[in-house]
Amino acid sequence: MTAVQTAPVTQVRVPARSVAGELRAIKIVWKRELIRFFNDRLRILTSLVQPFLFLFVLGSGLSQLTSGGTGGLNLRTFLYPGILAMAVLFTAMASAASIVWDREFGFLREMLVAPVRRSSIVIGKCLGGATVAAFQGLIVICIAGLVGVPYAPDLIAGVFGIQLLLAFTITAFGVMMSARIKQMQSFMALIQMLILPLYFLSGAVFPATNLPAWLTVLNRIDPLAYAVDPIRRIVFSHLTLAPAVRQRLDAGMTWGSWRVPTLLEVGVVAAIGAVLLAIAIAEFSKTE
Amino acid sequence: MTSPAVSTTRLSKRYGDFEAVRGIDLTVESGETFGFLGPNGAGKSTTISMLCTLVTPTGGTAKVAGHDIVRERDEVRRNIGLVFQDTTLDGYLTAEQNLRLHAELYGVPKDGLEARLRQVLEMVGLWDRRSSKVNTFSGGMKRRLEIGRGLLHSPRVLFLDEPTVGLDPQTRSSIWSYIRELKQAEDITIFLTTHYMDEAENCDRIAIMDHGQIIALDTPEALKAGVGKDRVQIHTDDNAEAIKALDEQFGLQATASEGAVSFFVDQGESFVPTLFGQFRLPIRAVSVARPSLDDVFMSYTGKTMRDAEASAAQRGRETMARFRGARR
């Protein structure tokens, strides 16, 4: 007789659906994202290289041309808030792509047949992506000293909070798209198509004032602009600058002539995130 | 425990104007090993997807473990284990991490988990490999791990959709020995699909499916006894002429499939000498077989499984073309 037959069978019981069960599902989906991210050293490395490349190669190179235009402010320092946003943008998009991989490698199915709400899976996925992206953001926060930005607690907390929110919104966007776009190739193409326009239009690499009208309009409808501007505001509030320079480089987001308050900007990012998440949940809750 | 494990009434699924499943009625008792046999494209996977609540039926009803598959989706999901044709493991995680993730998703209580985890891993022979990444596993090991994972939450019904497809014969037979051991160790109903005839022999009862319908349902023995006769297969240089000659000389209804001519007679072995003595065409090769499930399939549909698959693939392509055409 085999060992299997003589061993007593442990029967386990799956409990009925509960809020605790849903929270546990969110937690486990979130945790899986973290396990996978920290297992993937290459992904960590590549995502670290990018901010440095922009900040020190592009920033140092371009400062040869623009030293007059920034009113004495180091171009690297000017670019820094944009890089804080970029780190999150790129990583969050990559995290969002992971749900497409999950579908291609079949694991998505394992999650979708579990006796939990689809919304728990989607929320866990978005939180996981957001955490991973915010972790990247945190690393860029750590290099603040190298570009002459002080390590003030309120700066760190404020920037990190906005990064977290932005990361969540971008991941929610990716998860929403992945409900429809099921092949990795198409998804990558979509990201390529979106990521640079979003980034360039957001004002991450130039001040969003005195732009041509068409560019101003595009900047105002770019959701990323509403994350870049408050980050820049927080960073610049810790720099000592001549008022004229500040006015030129950190004029801030305006609707018409109205200066949009930081809280409203953050609210815009949060609202977009919430809408995208709701659509993502609705899409994933459909069955054939 | 008295309710049947699976029961369906006129269960159907239609995609556009393509009827994938056309009104299936069946009852699977608790503890049974029930097989769905049929060519690819016969509607087996669609049926299993409906029973697993992944696809919503367009007609009829079904209950799994006593729960309605549409109205009590969660209850159904809690009581079933699933192993799909394609792997659904996370290759970047270890075997144990995959199982723990599953336990969390299903809410397996902590107190029984450790014992259960060890038990299923030992049952599928992967306890020693529990800390290896799944990416390093062979196809057979992955399938075993999936079976183990499907069992982790002690489901009442384990659905196996083509559990051995794409595996080499040796691994296939080892998977089957795991399934048999499992039947002895656990109080469980197994519902599986296969298009391998020899695998269907392992089932208590089988339903043969073709074109979205069940065309026969019984024990393998009874199905084979129903055919009764031996199958004789001959290879000749001119099959069309041979079919004609068999009809004229012996009054036999023969069919050509897969390059050979086959027909059924009561006593195959004693007929062969007669055939060689009297047949007017040269015979290049001959084989005689006791009735197999292949023959059962053939006697119900007039074609072999392989031919049925070819025509199902053709039908699928036509349907897809229609869908594309309609969208334009």
Average pLDDT over residues B130-146: 92
User: SS3 for B20?
Assistant: strand
pLDDT at position A5 is: 43
Flag whether B49 is in a domain: yes
pLDDT digits (tens, 9 = 90+) for A161-187: 999 999 999 999 999 998 888 888 999
Average of pLDDT values for A80-98? 87
Average pLDDT over residues A275-281: 95
Name the residue of chain B whose CA is nearest to A99's CA: B90
Option in A5, A106, A112 nearest B184 (CB): A5
B1-24, pLDDT tens digit by residue?
A: 568 999 999 999 999 889 999 999
ipTM, interface predicted TM-score of the complex = 0.81
pLDDT on residue A288: 65
Spell out which chain A residues touch chain B, with contact meaning CB-CB distance below 8 angstroms. Answer: 2-5, 7, 9-17, 21, 24-25, 27-28, 32, 35-36, 39-40, 105-116, 287-288
- B277 and B182, same structural domain? no
Report, in angstroms and rounded to the nearest whole number, the Rg of chain A calculated over CA atoms: 22
pLDDT tens string B285-303: 888 887 777 778 877 777 7
Q: E strand or H helix at A262, and its extent?
A: helix A262-285
Last residue of a domain, one of B192, B219, B246: B219
pLDDT tens profile A21-61 = 899 999 999 999 999 888 888 877 877 788 888 888 888 88
Q: Which of A10, A30, A37 to substitute to test the interface with B, most B CBs within 10 Å?
A: A10
Q: How confident is the model at residue A1 (pLDDT cuts 50, 70, 90)?
A: very low
- Among the listed residues B68, B135, B78, B132, the one whose alpha carbon sits nearest the alpha carbon of residue B102: B78
Q: Does one domain contain both B156 and B241?
A: no
Q: At what angle do helices A153-180 and A118-142 cross, to 10 degrees?
A: 140
Residue among B229, B263, B261 at smallest CA distance from B242: B261
Q: What's the confidence (pLDDT) of residue B312?
A: 65
Closest CA relative to residue A249, chosen from A217, A208, A201, A202: A208
Closest residue of B to A5, CA-based?
Answer: B185
Q: How far apart are CA B136 and CA B130, in angstroms?
A: 12
Cα distances from A196 to residues A59, A135, A192, B135, in angstroms, run 17, 22, 7, 34
B 140-169 → A contacts, CB under 8 A: 152-154
Q: For residues B69 and B63, is the Cβ–Cβ distance under 8 A?
A: yes
Contact B55 A11 (CB under 8 A): no
Q: At what angle do helices A41-52 and A75-104 cross, to 10 degrees?
A: 150
CATH number at residue B170: 3.40.50.300
Rounded CA-CA distance B140/B148 in Å is: 12
pTM summary value: 0.81
Which chain A residue shows the shortest CA-CA distance from B57? A288
Both tokens assigned to B127: 């306890």
What is the per-residue pLDDT for B38? 84
Order of all β-strands in the sheet with B189-194: B80-83, B157-161, B189-194, B33-37, B205-210, B213-218
pLDDT, mean of residues B113-132: 91
- Which candidate, A192, A130, A169, A188, places its Cα nearest to that of A272? A169
CA–CA–CA angle B258, B262, B263 (5° rounding): 155
pLDDT of B324 strictly over 70: no
Counting the structural domains of chain B, the total is 2
Binary contact (A288, B104; C-beta < 8 A): no
Residue at B151 is within a domain: yes
- Collapsing DSSP to helix, strand or coil, B205 comes out as strand
Partner residue opposite B54 with nearest CB, options A3, A115, A287:
A287
Q: Is the pLDDT of residue A74 over 70?
A: yes
Q: Which of B91, B97, B113 sits opposite A12 (nearest CB)?
A: B113
**Mutation site, B52, B105, B153, B158, interface A, largest A CB count within 10 A:** B105
Which three-class secondary structure string do you get for chain B? CCCCCEEEEEEEEEECCEEEEEEEEEEECCCCEEEEECCCCCCHHHHHHHHCCCCCCCEEEEEECCEECCCCHHHHHHCEEEECCCCCCCCCCEHHHHHHHHHHHHCCCHHHHHHHHHHHHHHCCCHHHCCCEHHHCCHHHHHHHHHHHHHCCCCCEEEEECCCCCCCHHHHHHHHHHHHHHHHHCCCEEEEEECCHHHHCCCCEEEEEECCEEEEEECHHHHHHHHCCEEEEEEECCHHHHHHHHHHHHCCCCEEECCEEEEEECCHHHHHHHHHHHCCCCEEEEEEECCCHHHHHHHHHCCCHHHHHHHHHHHHHHHHHHHHHHHC
Predicted confidence at residue B328, as pLDDT, reads 40
| Range B68-76 average pLDDT | 91
CATH code where residue B285 lies: 3.30.70.260
pLDDT band at residue A4 using 50, 70 and 90 as cut-offs: very low
Does B52 have pLDDT greater than 50?
yes
State the residue for tokens 């159907």.
Answer: B12
Query: Between β-strands B189-194 and B230-236, what pairing exists: parallel, antiparallel or unpaired?
Result: unpaired
Q: How far is A46 from chain B (nearest CA, A)?
A: 19
Per CB-CB distance under 8 Å, the chain A contacts of B49 are 288
Residue type, position B20, single letter: A
pLDDT in tens, B207-261: 988 889 998 899 988 888 777 778 888 888 888 888 888 888 888 888 887 788 8
Tokens of B46: 């669609």
Mutation for B interface: A2, A5, A9, A29, most B CBs within 10 A = A9
Give chain B positions within 8 Å (CB) of A39: 92
Positive/negative CA dihedral, A134, A138, A144, A146? negative
Mutation for testing the B interface, residue in A113, A117, A121, A125 having most B CBs under 10 Å = A113
Own/partner long-range contacts of A150-154 (Cβ < 8 Å, ≥24 apart): A150/A238, A152/A238, A154/A234
Q: Which residue of A has its CA nearest to B118?
A: A10
B107 with A107: Cβ contact below 8 A: no
Lowest mean pLDDT among A166-170, B154-158, B163-167: B163-167
Same domain, yes or no, for B175 and B283? Answer: no
Q: B177 and chain A: CB distance < 8 Å anywhere?
A: no
Do B14 and B136 fall within a single domain? yes
Asked if A11's CB is within 8 angstroms of B54's CB, the reply is no
What crossing angle do the helices spanning A19-39 and B95-106 adopt, rounded to 10°? Answer: 160
Based on its alpha-carbon atoms, the radius of gyration of chain B, rounded to whole angstroms, reads 23
Mean pLDDT of A135-155: 89
Mean pLDDT of B167-181: 82
**Mean pLDDT of chain B, nearest integer:** 86
Q: Which residue of A has its CA nearest to B14?
A: A288
pLDDT at B325: 47
What mean pLDDT is predicted for residues A264-275?
Answer: 95
Distance from CA of B308 to the nearest CA of A (A): 26
What pLDDT does A234 receive?
Answer: 92
Contact call for A11 and B152, based on CB within 8 A: no
Quick check: B87 and A13 CB within 8 A?
A: no
**pLDDT for residue A182:** 84
Percent of chain B with pLDDT over 90: 37
Asked if residue B143 and residue B32 are part of one domain, the reply reads yes
Q: Across residues A241-256, what is the average pLDDT? A: 78
Per the structure, the complete domain to which residue B133 belongs is given by 6-219
Domain co-membership, B159 together with B236: no
Residues of chain A positioned with their CB less than 8 A from the CB of B101: 28, 32
| Stretch B91-103: mean pLDDT | 94
pLDDT tens profile A190-212: 988 888 899 999 988 888 777 88
Contact yes or no for B153 and A14 at CB 8 A? yes
- Is A288 within 8 Å of B89 when comparing Cβ atoms? no
Q: What percent of chain A has a predicted confidence (pLDDT) above 70? A: 94
* Cβ pair A105:B97 closer than 8 A: no
Residue A92: the pLDDT is: 87
Q: Where are the beta strands (DSSP E) in A143-201?
A: none
Instruction: Give, as one character, the DSSP assignment of residue B230.
Output: E
B244 shares a domain with B212: no
**Chain B hits for A12, Cβ within 8 Å:** 108-109, 112-113, 116, 152-154
Verify whether the Cβ–Cβ distance B115 to A10 is below 8 Å: yes
For B182, the closest chain A residue by CA position comes to A4
Question: Is residue B180 scored above 50 in pLDDT?
Answer: yes
Q: Is residue B224 part of a domain?
A: no
Query: pLDDT confidence of B327, banded at 50, 70, 90?
Result: very low
Checking if the pLDDT of A121 tops 70, the result is: yes
Q: Are residues B131 and B275 in the same domain?
A: no
pLDDT band at A125 (very low <50, low <70, confident <90, very high): very high
- From B85, B13, B9, select the one nearest B43 (Cα to Cα): B13
Position B315 pLDDT exceeds 70: no
Instruction: Check: CB of residue B28 under 8 Å from CB of residue B62.
Output: no
Beta strands in chain B (DSSP E): 6-15, 18-28, 33-37, 59-64, 67-68, 80-83, 157-161, 189-194, 205-210, 213-218, 230-236, 255-257, 260-265, 283-289
Instruction: Please give, rounded to a whole number of angstroms, the shortest distance from the CA of B1 to a CA of chain A.
Output: 15
CA distances from B252 to A283, B159, B247, B248 (A): 59, 42, 5, 8
